[in-house]
């Protein structure tokens, strides 16, 4: 089983053994503040289940992936975010540094497009 604090920081945050500023949790999804925020609001939304990145997800994760997106929407509402950016980096070349699927929910500044 890969789901241990020893091997994955975000599994540790999800099971409470690594401290974070928790924003939301339910049986499937956890959201917390990014340690090194890149915007005035910068939250990370993760599945409790260890999935390394989006390209490791498949049909069996369809409901879970939907929950992650709906959690982003709910948090955007809760935090009164009118405009926000939701991003996942898939692989090192795309900027992924933690190998546990996560969506960045960012707001409170202007974002460029295309993303850098
Ligand atoms: P990635 O680069 O993989 O897309 O995003 C990983 C994010 O996780 C980064 O924005 C980084 O600041 C954040 N991060 C890394 N380690 C920790 C941690 O221990 N706690 C929290 N709250 N965020 C972390
Ligand atoms: Zn993990």
Q: Give pLDDT tens digits for 39-66.
A: 999 999 999 999 999 999 999 999 999 9
Cα-to-chain-centroid distance, residue 81: 17
**What number of residues does the chain have?**
116
> What kind and span of H or E run contains 70?
helix 62-78
Q: Determine if ligand 1 sits within 6 Å of the CB of residue 35.
A: yes
Does 80 have pLDDT greater than 70?
yes
- Note if 102 is an active site residue: yes
Which pLDDT does position 5 carry in this prediction?
Answer: 55
| Ligand 1 atom nearest residue 89's Cα | 4
Q: Determine if ligand 1 sits within 6 Å of the CB of residue 96.
A: yes
Which pLDDT does position 1 carry in this prediction?
Answer: 47
From 42, 100, 102, 104, active-site residue = 102
Which pLDDT does position 3 carry in this prediction?
Answer: 54
Contact 46/14 with Cβ under 8 angstroms? yes
Q: Rounded to whole angstroms, what are the CA distances from 75 to 5, 31, 67, 94, 114?
A: 26, 9, 12, 25, 24
Q: What tokens does 96 get?
A: 């992924």
Which pLDDT does position 68 carry in this prediction?
Answer: 98
């Amino acid at each position: 089983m890969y789901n241990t604090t020893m091997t994955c920081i975000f599994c540790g945050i999800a099971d409470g053994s690594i401290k974070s500023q928790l924003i939301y949790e339910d049986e499937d999804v956890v959201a917390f503040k990014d340690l090194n925020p890149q915007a005035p609001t910068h939250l990370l939304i993760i599945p409790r289940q260890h999935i390394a990145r989006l390209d490791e997800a498949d049909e069996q994760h369809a409901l879970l992936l939907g929950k992650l997106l709906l959690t982003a929407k709910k948090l955007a509402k809760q935090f009164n975010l009118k405009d926000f950016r939701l991003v996942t980096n898939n692989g090192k070349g795309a900027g992924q540094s933690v190998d546990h699927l996560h969506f960045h929910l960012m707001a409170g500044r202007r974002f460029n497009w295309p993303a850098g």
